[in-house]
Chains A and B, each alone.
Chain A
Amino acid sequence: GQNIDQPTEMTATEGAIVQINCTYQTSGFNGLFWYQQHAGEAPTFLSYNVLDGLEEKGRFSSFLSRSKGYSYLLLKELQMKDSASYLCAVRRSGYSTLTFGKGTMLLVSP
């Protein structure tokens, strides 16, 4: 089976930096994904890591350590529109499906 943990809620201020952590336990790891989901909308893809290290994509970066079963999503220069749920998802080897964590609700305040 799989176990994916991430904080339930986080708050931050506009313009700040926030790091959302995700830990996972899975048999046969084949990639970790981060998705953003605004209330009432579909999840949208943010980032993908399959090798250790940092992937940077504009204001968003994602880090992976496979030996520690750990990932984080880093959001810089926070904007009000970044208030959303951030879902960590793991893919297992041999499967095309993703299993999602419970999501972290980020609230950005002025």
Chain B
Amino acid sequence: DTEVTQTPKHLVMGMTNKKSLKCEQHMGHRAMYWYKQKAKKPPELMFVYSYEKLSINESVPSRFSPECPNSSLLNLHLHALQPEDSALYLCASSPLEVRRMAGELFFGEGSRLTVL
């Protein structure tokens, strides 16, 4: 299994809603990531979890709240978002062990979020 699965694929929410994006991988990767991608822009890193612990938060507003319940799952909880938060949210995973290919990111297909 070399897939990263994200749900939902599409989400429309109002600014007062609370919703969650989910990500799952069964490749045994111990690093998981959330990236945000606006149209015609590169992916921008939001959060990194290493061994289920938050290791990097790229100064993301608190209306985005990540959670890593176990080594296979990564969630992104959304609350009180703004229209400018509309984007494609990509989950990725990678192995952490030291070997030549370490660091290759495997991306999910993304969750396309629209905030009204």
What is the bound-complex CA distance between A30 and B109, given in angstroms? 26
A43-B101 contact, Cβ under 8 Å, with A97-B33, A97-B48, A97-B56: no
A98-B101 contact, Cβ under 8 Å, with A42-B90, A87-B42, A103-B42: no
Specify the main secondary structure of chain A where it touches its partner: strand
A-B pair number, CB within 8 angstroms:
54
On chain B, the number of residues with a Cβ less than 8 Å from chain A's Cβ atoms is 25
> Is A42 a contact partner of B110 (Cβ separation < 8 A)?
yes
* Contact residues on A (Cβ < 8 Å of other chain), bracket: 20 to 34
Specify the main secondary structure of chain B where it touches its partner: loop
Q: Say yes or no: is B87 at the interface (Cβ < 8 Å to chain A).
A: no
Q: Nearest residue in B to A30 (C-beta to C-beta)?
A: B103
Interface members, chain B 61-116 (any A CB < 8 Å): 90, 94, 96, 100-110
A42-B109 contact, Cβ under 8 Å, with A96-B31, A97-B48, A100-B43: yes
